[in-house]
Amino acid sequence: MLSGKTVLIGITGGIAAYKICELIRMFKRQNANVRVICTPNALNFVTKLTLQNLSQNEVGVEEFEIPDFKPEHISYADEADIMLIAPATANTIGKIANGICDNLLTSIVCAFKKPIILAPAMNCNMWENPIVQENIKKLQNNGFEIVEPETGFLACGYNGTGRLAALEKIFDKTVEVLQSKKKLTGKKIIITAGGTIEDIDPVRYISNYSSGKMGLALADEAFQQGAETILITTKDVTRPYKTVKVKSAADMQKAVEADFEKADCVIMAAAVADYRVKNRAEHKMKKTDADTLTLELVKNPDILKELCAKKTTQKVVGFCAESENLIENAKEKIIKKGCDYLIANDISRKDIGFSSDYNEVVIFDKTGRQKRIERAAKAQIARRILEEIYG
């Protein structure tokens, strides 16, 4: 299965390090070339000789063991097809997330341009630490694959989440990433995200609760699959692909239309305000003695409908956020708008949707077919949506 592939395994100083011996054997059974890098502390849990015998390769530990003219961390990075760090301790995760290169393993990660998978393992309190979770999200946002730890009895005596994921799960994820192709190479995809802002005066505005996380997840996934990705968002984000910061519905429409003609697909995940204030005040409106204030609103352009009306070869995908009658409203909307796909999600639930890292959606296509994707992380939902669009 893995003939001709080189898997670089990084082992850090956690008790689960001993389990990686069997993982190495799993890769060797599939004819992979396995190289192993250990942090010095990892050798407190598993011996260098054992790892060398199992991998049939020299094991790297010290950063300046240079057998030839090539810097060792660059050499390892160039030779491998994928890097897997298991177990990944909180310490090493923190270093990687912040660009610290103080040992051979972290130096290789910094120079590695191919897929990297992390399989964390640690005490449950450490895993739940907000700083550790922030580092995990930071790495995910930068394209790292995370095989999350499992819940169960831990070596420290606690019972909670932190145990290294099953070796089969780690192996399968590595094979999946190795065998996946850049399916969207050559495609140009525009994705919108966030809630638009419609000014009332210089200090007040009309908007909504959209966090932009779903659109961002879609853009990240499209980019990882090789697409030329353009994210048009109302949020401040830094990404390796093109991002355009906008504010109002009019701004968003202008940004989308600028690249629409040459796009293969537009995914309108943004929550675009239906109305804007007719006459925006130039100066801050002062409070008066009146108990009420009337604002005259006018309709914003229906960006989705207008794109659908003028599309030629483009695929246009809309989103539908509903608090009731999800299926009925979605069926009506896809017909009314004329889009190729419509993604419907229930915003009345507290465990998904706005501001959550999770979602659950129903995907409709223009033939009337519908497919439900059960609750999952938005990154996984994004992957499933793109699978539906591009098969």
Give the CATH number for residue 374: 3.40.50.10300
Res 68 pLDDT > 60: no
Q: Do residue 249 and residue 363 come from a single domain?
A: yes
Tokens at residue 158, please? Answer: 């606690």
The DSSP bridge partners found for residue 192 are 232, 268
Q: Do residue 252 and residue 306 come from a single domain?
A: yes
36-48: pLDDT as tens digits: 999 999 999 999 9
Res 65 pLDDT > 70: no
**SS3 assignment, position 200:** coil
Q: What is the average pLDDT score of the chain?
A: 92
Q: What does the pLDDT read at residue 351?
A: 79
Q: 104 falls in which pLDDT band (50, 70, 90)? A: very high
Count of domains for the chain: 2
* Inside any domain, residue 354: yes
156 is catalytic: yes
Q: What is the pTM of this model?
A: 0.62
Q: Which residue has the tokens 């995990």?
A: 136
Q: How far apart are CA 136 and CA 17, in angstroms?
A: 20
Q: Quick check: 242 and 255 in contact, CB under 8 A?
A: no
Q: Do residue 278 and residue 354 come from a single domain?
A: yes
Q: What does the pLDDT read at residue 70?
A: 52
Domain termination site, one of 147, 179, 211: 179
Q: Do residue 220 and residue 308 come from a single domain?
A: yes
Q: How far apart are CA 207 and CA 223, in angstroms?
A: 28
* Inside any domain, residue 156: yes
263-297: pLDDT as tens digits: 999 999 999 999 999 999 999 999 999 999 999 99
Q: Do residue 162 and residue 219 come from a single domain?
A: no
Structural domain containing residue 127: 6-179
Q: 64 falls in which pLDDT band (50, 70, 90)? A: low
In percent, the amount of the chain with pLDDT more than 90 equals 76
Q: Compute the CA torsion angle 336, 337, 340, 343 (nearest 10 deg).
A: -90
Q: Do residue 94 and residue 12 come from a single domain?
A: yes
Q: Residue 288 contacts by C-beta under 8 Å, 6 or more apart in sequence? A: none
Q: What does the pLDDT read at residue 69?
A: 47
- Single-letter residue type at 115: P
Tokens at residue 344, please? Answer: 């419907």
Number of CB atoms found within 10 A of residue 203's CB: 10
In percent, the amount of the chain with pLDDT more than 70 equals 97
Q: What does the pLDDT read at residue 241?
A: 94
Number of CB atoms found within 10 A of residue 355's CB: 10
Q: Do residue 223 and residue 365 come from a single domain?
A: yes
* Inside any domain, residue 1: no
Per-residue DSSP letter, 286: P
Longest dimension (CA), the chain: 84
Best mean pLDDT range from 43-52, 154-163, 371-380: 43-52
170-202: pLDDT as tens digits: 999 999 888 766 789 999 999 999 999 999 999
Number of CB atoms found within 10 A of residue 15's CB: 17
Higher pLDDT pick, 306 / 63: 306
For the chain, what is the total number of helices (H) and then of strands (E)? 13, 20
Q: Do residue 197 and residue 64 come from a single domain?
A: no
Mean pLDDT of 319-327: 90
Catalytic member of 110, 124, 156, 308: 156
Res 78 pLDDT > 80: yes
Q: Do residue 25 and residue 142 come from a single domain?
A: yes
Tokens at residue 218, please? Answer: 């879609």
End-to-end CA distance of the chain: 24
